[in-house]
Amino acid sequence: MRTTESSRVRRFAIAALLVLAWACSASEQGADGKTVPRLAFVTNGVASFWVIAEKGARAAGKATGTKVSVHMPAEGIADQKRILEDLVTRRIDGIAVSPIDPANQTELLNATAARTNLITHDSDAPDSKRVCYIGMDNYAAGRSCGQLVKEALPDGGQVFLFIGRLEQDNARRRRQGVIDELLARSHDPARYDPPGQPLVGESYTILGTLTDQFDRAVGKANAEDALSKHPEVDALVGLFAYNPPLCLAALEQAGKLGEIVVIGFDEADETLRGIQDGTVYGTVVQDPYQYGYRSIAVLAALARGDRTLLPASGFIDIPARQIRAAEVDAFWADLRAKTDGR
């Protein structure tokens, strides 16, 4: 007796589950019953930068009539691998990914590219079989930052650079762009000046470059030490998002805020406030919204067999923008609108 009753309960539970699952699977199709291309945007972690990119990706999904899912790996590289495998399993029609460790992920990226349209954004994996890369040219962005330094110090001066680390390609190129612009050199992204000795140009001197391996305390100590060692410095240039705020903190302690100018990268709140207050001359910002938007636009075209959006070089440049006192209010308002809520 007991078994029949409990098996009835079990049968009912299974039936209910199946109906629920079926109802969910039905939502895989578009409203008109036709299947729409399904595309995925995969980031390299969880950050407000990516929330802006997600907005761009979703807007492009609406504009192109595609179904977009956004995935932010919360547990690092193993998590990103799992997400890519599961997306491929779903026979997704295209993936845009910001690889966490491109040099060691070639195999995974190639396996993914063999099964779907794969593009990279934000950070490239040139050795993989990705169709194209959408992002910023860090060398050009560095030169753009160098221009801001020149505007801030029109009569020349001495400059100190701060950056997270130089082992990664984007950091190296970004720094080199600043140096080449200040020393009025030709365009050569492959050039590399080791950070040790000062670089002297006609009107600008780069006194040195200090790295902090992403340790904020070290970054601040670097700025403090540079100020004590080179009291004659005219400008501090912070090349990773958190560097300009640390430069400002060190200057405030030294009582030299406003006396020595800061030029920054990215859009930390302190950096933007510094531009409003006049302690920061300007900053160079990336455009994550466009990373998301253009990635999905390219994938949507690829899914429909249209390859006209692909450049011959395999690189779609989303140029960095310069933000000075004149642009900062509008930029900040727009940024808040894009990051507020979902």
Question: What is the nearest approach in angstroms of another protein to the Cβ of residue 82?
Answer: 7
Identify the three-state secondary structure at position 80: helix
Residues in region 37-76 near another protein by CB under 8 A: 38, 67, 69-72, 74-76
Cα 251 to Cα 224: distance, rounded to the nearest angstrom: 8
- DSSP letter, residue 35: P
Terminal Cα-to-Cα distance of the chain (whole angstroms): 54
**Choice between 22 and 194, CB closer to another protein:** 22
Q: According to CB under 8 A, which one of 8, 11, 62, 90 is a site residue for another protein?
A: 90
> Contact with another protein (CB under 8 A): which of 85, 169, 224, 317?
85
CB of 79 to another protein, least distance (A): 9
Minimum distance, C-beta of residue 187 to another protein, in the bound complex (Å): 30
Residues in the interface with another protein (CB under 8 A) total 46
Q: Which two tokens stand for residue 255?
A: 């009582």
Minimum CB–partner distance for residue 27 and another protein (Å): 6
Reading the block at residue 317, the tokens are 């440049």
Out of 11, 20, 229, 330, point to the residue binding another protein (CB under 8 A): 20
Q: Are strands 157-163 and 235-238 parallel, antiparallel or unpaired?
A: parallel
Binding mask 103-142 for another protein (x = CB under 8 A): xxxxxx----------------------------------
184 Rama class: left (phi>0) / alpha (psi -120 to 50) / beta: left
The count of other CB atoms within 10 Å of the CB of residue 126 is 12
Query: In this structure, what token pair is assigned to residue 9?
Result: 């309960």
Which tokens hold the place of 84? 């890519």
**Minimum distance of another protein from residue 39's CB (angstroms):** 11
Q: Of 108, 87, 139, 127, whose CA–CA distance to 299 is shortest?
A: 87
Contacts of 259 (CB under 8 A, 6+ apart): 251
Tokens, residue 59: 């807007």
Contacting residue, 8, 14, 198, 325, with another protein by CB under 8 A: 14
Position among 32, 33, 91, 190 found at the interface with another protein (CB under 8 A): 91
Q: Which residues bind another protein (CB under 8 A)?
A: 2, 6, 13-14, 17-18, 20-22, 24-25, 27-28, 38, 67, 69-72, 74-78, 81-83, 85-91, 100-101, 103-108, 167, 213-215
